[in-house]
Chains A and B, each alone.
Chain A
Amino acid sequence: MSRLGLMWSGLFRRRVRTCLTVFSIMIAFLLFGLLRSIADVFSVGVDIAGADRLMVAPKYSIIDPIPYRYISEIRAVDGVEAVTHANWFGGTYQDPRNFFPRYPVTPREYFDLYPELRMPAEQLDAFDNTRTGAVASVALAEKYGWAIGDKIPIEADIWPKKGGDRLWVFDLVGLYSVAGNASAQDVFLLNYAYFDEARQFGEGEVGNFIVRVTDPNLAAEVSRAIDALFENSMAPTRTATEAEMQREMFNQAGRIGLVMTAILGAVFFTIVLLTGNTIAQSLRERIPEFAVLKTLGFTNGGVASLVLGEAVLLCLVGGALGLGVAALLTPWVAGTVENILPGIELGWTIVATGLGVAMLLGLAIGVLPALSANRLQIVDALRARG
């Protein structure tokens, strides 16, 4: 037996009571785990740059083309600060399993619209000036072992070259890093000018436009104005409201966070009261035992830390169980709400925070009983029994 074993044994004095206590702590931390992992989705949303960006996509199908020339009309809309465009290039790099998006873009415009993509100026110049130039994110380059100067062959599926040649070879002239952790930005960018000129068909068409508005609050208005421009054309557009939805989410995230904090606060307050009371009761019953430990030579501090340790242990066990169950349930929760709220995940930070909170909870609950165990006079306690 060790001191830990002694602490542990204290928990089994009243099995049912201990189980109920652990159970209520477990429920609290189950809630903690689930609510935190949901709340994290919102905070990730807040971290994403581009609340001021709109997507202009084909109205009916994402594979319909949009004429490139729309760009000047969009640029003229009130509230539009900058516009660029992108396409879906498709293709295969060596093996179909090597999947990463490839977009033909206009280099300067694109990097202007995505300030979270960071690339040295001379590499951007090179990208702009090299017809067959391409750039990729540092993460992609690491994954495939690319370095600047490499030739990257892409086998076309949608876009063969004039004459039917399917092999496109690009010169890697730059590597950009992504501020924040938006892995959605791990893409391979190539020069639209070259792409548009060399492809067999579809000249002058793009897949979508990306618009930056002067003020995120104008997003809805600008979206409507853009769609109105092309409503009766051959290629009507639907300006995606993601940014708008995101913006609403940002407003709500604060409120949701507040609600969650309030729920958790109430739950933990209740747990502290209930568990604190239970532990205090358990301590009162064991006063003679603590006195006996002191007669054996356990110091006041030793007995107090035993009591404190027991409370912490109880909370850690309950917390670990609760977080464990939360970890088991999260994938299921994430699956059921994937369409409304993608990306729910119980990360290690939540687990670590949860265990930290459990420990603090244990300390908070244990501190008063520990103090009274510390003060306990052997002689009085023994007389109370005899």
Chain B
Amino acid sequence: MSALVKLNGVSKSFIRGKEELRVLTDIDLSIEEGDFFALMGPSGSGKTTLLNLIGGLDTTTAGYVQVGDTRLDELSSKALAKWRSEHVGFVFQFYNLLPVLTAQRNVELPLLLTKLSRSQRKSNAATALKVVGLEDRADHRPGELSGGQQQRVAIARAFVADPEILVCDEPTGDLDRDTADEILGLLELLNRDHGKTIIMVTHDPKAADHASHVLHLDKGRLVDQVSA
């Protein structure tokens, strides 16, 4: 297997006023294609920040992130947006669905950026909803769905445009144990049967059990890398 995601000497600081806050220090990391990768660590250790860098939502202060042949630091903000639409799907702790849109339309959103026709968009979104087991809730709005259901919709939205990587920031953080296990099962299915590379931040050791690799972050540095 080859490395799909490579971080090379990545550091990240935030500047707030006159202070510079160093969040990530000199991170080297490579994630194989088809991996289910978990990132753990105490609150404030920089997990979300690292995930955002990998997903191309933010840019490094030093070092670079490379995905496939693409160095993200070399992309303009417009090119980066296009790259995200094609290569990464995001799943957040609080689902981040658009409240005015039905489940079906939320899932369809990323497809607005593709060349697919209206009917193809519709049918692809319907298929994605079927994969997450929510085809009968297609016309419900997020407010009419449970947390677990909303997260399924968010997952459907994340993979509907067929990206290689799913980036998940505490996807089960707001869910009870059983629902969390369902969501993790779904991610595992996407990893195993659909070949998605998954990079997941979690506080939950049981969630990390689903991963093939677990990595700990502490105060912005990688601590170890434990193979499952």
Contacts and interface: CB of A to CB of B under 8 A. Distances in A.
Interface string A269-298: 000000000000000000011001111111
Given A288-B96, A297-B81, A379-B58, A9 B105 contact: yes
A299 B112 contact: no
Chief secondary structure at chain A's binding surface: helix
Given A2-B118, A3-B112, A297 B94 contact: no
Nearest to A12: B100
Interface magnitude class on chain A = 20 to 34
Contact of A296 (B94, B99, B113): B113
Nearest to B122: A1
B94 A6 contact: no
B64 interface: no
A341 to B, nearest CB: 47
Given A300-B77, A386-B92, A1 B105 contact: yes
A382 interface: yes
A65 interface: no
Interface in B54-79: 55, 57-58, 77-78
A297 B108 contact: no
A108 to B, nearest CB: 70
B100 A13 contact: yes
A378 interface: yes
Contacts of A143: none
A314 B112 CA distance: 22
Nearest to B52: A379
A289 B98 contact: yes
B90 interface: yes
A297 B100 contact: no
Contact of B112 (A6, A12, A378, A385): A6
Contacts of A3: 112
Contacts of B58: 378-379
A297 B113 contact: yes
Contacts of A289: 96, 98-99
B57 A295 contact: yes
Interface in B115-137: 118, 121
5 contacts: A6-B109, A289-B98, A298-B81, A378-B58, A385-B96
Given A292-B98, A293-B109, A296-B84, 14 more contacts: A1-B101, A1-B121, A6-B101, A288-B96, A289-B96, A294-B81, A295-B57, A297-B81, A297-B82, A297-B83, A297-B84, A300-B77, A379-B58, A385-B94
